[in-house]
Amino acid sequence: MIHRRALLASVAAAGAAVATSRMRAALPLSGGPVILSTWDHGIPANVAAMEALRSGGTALDAAERGVMVTEADVTNRSVGLTGYPDRDGIVTLDACIMDGDGRAGSVCFVQGIKHPVSLARKVMENTPHVMMVGKGAEQYARELGIEQLPNVLPDDVQKAWENWKKESRYQPVINIENHDTIGLLVLDANGRLAGACTTSGLAWKMHGRVGDSPIIGAGLYVDNEVGGATCTGVGEYVLRTLASFLAVERMRMGDTPQQACEEAIRRIKARHADVRNVQVGILALDTHGRHGAASIHDGFTFALHKDGKNQLRKA
Ligand code: ASP
């Protein structure tokens, strides 16, 4: 019988081996770093990510620091502790982070954690695991000295939830403010990639529901050999197609980031009979600094920081 500690050590060693075997020589990027992120809130997130790079941080630091801005934004209703709660009035958070060398960390269904992305990074860097959920992840946060805050809804959120409860009808509606995850991809000046994705999930979701955002391959996937992709929208549609992984693999086969995004959206539509009321948006960035963006419906905005400009665009 394998001793548990020995097993954990061998899992950790395997993780390190993955990272080492996937490392490649850095290729300086002629155009400088590129940062790509979902929705309007991507603009300030991109600024923080770029600052992290300028102050000597890695692509991973930049990805984390960028989405932390959105997590801390108390006006945001779809990311962080002030996001809309589930149907029981409880805010539960999902996040993941991935380095282009293949390392990844994720937390799902956590409560009271201001920066779930940073907890996901701790899971990646300090444990032999990739994903931790619920009470166990919260316990790990406490062990790290991360404060767990009480579930207090801002007044307008409390009112919106009480309003919703009158009919208690859960219906994903495209592009309204009941979903708007931040997914952010970074390509640093050495051609190395990282990404992060964080959300409070769909408003009024069932308690315990987890979407695509913290799932490596669904909400986010990054590979230094090819590029990265991240998704937003109704997570169930992304989960059924592993859209981020699909887009990265399409780029590996020769697609441009734009073609890869369009193929992922085509696949989602092909696998679902009706997407009339469902929005999914996907972004992709390759190692050359080229980007792509696509969505099922119009209205998906994204922020691109490139060549010294940080601009909001439409997919
Ligand atoms: N993808 C997220 C989820 O399904 C929602 C969003 O993008 O806003 O939880």
Question: What CATH architecture does domain 43-310 belong to?
Answer: 4-Layer Sandwich (3.60)
> Using a 6 Å cutoff on CB, does residue 213 contact ligand 1?
yes
User: Strand pairing of 131-133 and 104-110?
Assistant: parallel
pLDDT at 169: 73
Calculate how far, in angstroms, residue 233's C-alpha sits from the geometric centre of ligand 1: 5
Of all residues in the chain, what percent carry a pLDDT higher than 90? 83
Domain ranges of the chain: 43-310
The pLDDT tens digits for 237-295 are: 999 999 999 999 999 999 999 999 999 999 999 999 989 889 999 999 999 999 999 99
Query: Which tokens sit at 231?
Result: 């998704």
Calculate how far, in angstroms, residue 24's C-alpha sits from the geometric centre of ligand 1: 33
Establish whether 181 is a catalytic residue: yes
More confident call, 61 vs 6? 61
Its pTM stands at 0.91
In whole angstroms, give the CA distance from residue 291 to residue 191: 14
In whole angstroms, give the CA distance from residue 257 to residue 72: 30
pLDDT at 172: 57
The pLDDT tens digits for 116-156 are: 999 999 999 999 999 999 999 999 999 999 999 999 999 99
> Using a 6 Å cutoff on CB, does residue 211 contact ligand 1?
yes
